[in-house]
Amino acid sequence: MIQSCILGTGHYLPPKVVTNFDVMKMMETSDAFIVERTGVRRRRHAEPGVSASDLAVPACLAAVEDAGLTMDQIDLLIMNTITPDHADPGCAFFLQAKLAVPGIAVMDIRQQCAGLIYGLAIADHFVKAGTYRHVLIACSEVLSKRIDGSLDGRNIAILLGDGAGAVVVGPSDDRRKGILSTILHADGSGAKALYTAAPGSALGRTEHITKEDIDAGRVHFRMDGRAVFDNGVARMSEAVFESLKVNGLTMDSIDLLIPHQANLRMLETIVARVAVPPGKVFVNVEEYGNMASACLPIALDQARKSGRARDGSLVMLVAFGSGFVWASALVRM
């Protein structure tokens, strides 16, 4: 049986640094409030003319180079984003054109913050089946373009940052390396705890979008913060324990836990609940904020480049996002 593994990783962060004091100029808040509630101190924002596919290009090129491949060796492109270039078609098509890989299969997925793990699961099965040899997964977000600093929107707006990460999955000649498991879950009954109402076909009218939608804030994220926090902690903790059980391991076996960088307070609660030493957890949310699906691949690449995830390291990825969706992956690097 073919063994699939992560062959390469890459990421890209826009150069513009936005501090909490910069955020204070956009909305009524304070540095102390943001740090106390979220732990975020800085984030990156893309320039106005930069799209999700633009951010993804350098991340993808870096991942393919890191894998020791050329772009013409990629057979399938998977892209996850909640901030696409356009409403349709899928953002993967725009990214494909910019990467100059016409003719290969492309796939858009909308798994929010769990996009990388869902993408790994898809790639893992395709590679093991022999359907595709090299799969490129891109997660890219320009959340700064969806910031709403109103009273209703600022509970999530203070978190948001921009960035892109990419991973190449392919066959491994080293049986010690590989994607050991991917565990996927969802519960749509919580979908409206964090969602954007408009545009949408469920609004009970013929118009795609109206001025009232804009004025009422229906075009912006709306979040039930307590529901998201409580479910995020519970589901990510459960996903960690489930991954350990499926693989017959204990937390002592894990070299590095990379959680979705939702906010620092959530991560602190999860770390305490799963009883993992803080030194085994990768955290960068203070520096980059919550970049939705881009968090995990960026963190994974940074962990590799900094030496915290070395060849042979057993790394667990875990995520929770709107939907609700949650997932975990266990990878031997």
- Catalytic residues, by residue number, are 113, 260, 290
Phi, psi values for residue 112, rounded to 5°: 50, -130
What is d(CA 113, CA 133) in angstroms, rounded to the nearest whole number? 26
DSSP 281: B
Structure tokens at 259: 């959680």
Amino acid at 88: D
CA 27 to chain centre: 25
Q: In 3-state terms, what secondary structure has residue 321?
A: strand
Query: Alpha-carbon torsion 302, 258, 91, 97, what sign?
Result: positive
What is d(CA 130, CA 170) in angstroms, rounded to the nearest whole number? 10
Burial 187-222 (b: 16+ CB within 10 A, else e): eeebeebbebbbeeeeeeeeeeeeeebeeebbbbbb
Phi, psi values for residue 123, rounded to 5°: -60, -45
DSSP 152: T
Picking from 299, 248, 239, the residue whose alpha carbon sits closest to that of residue 10 is 299
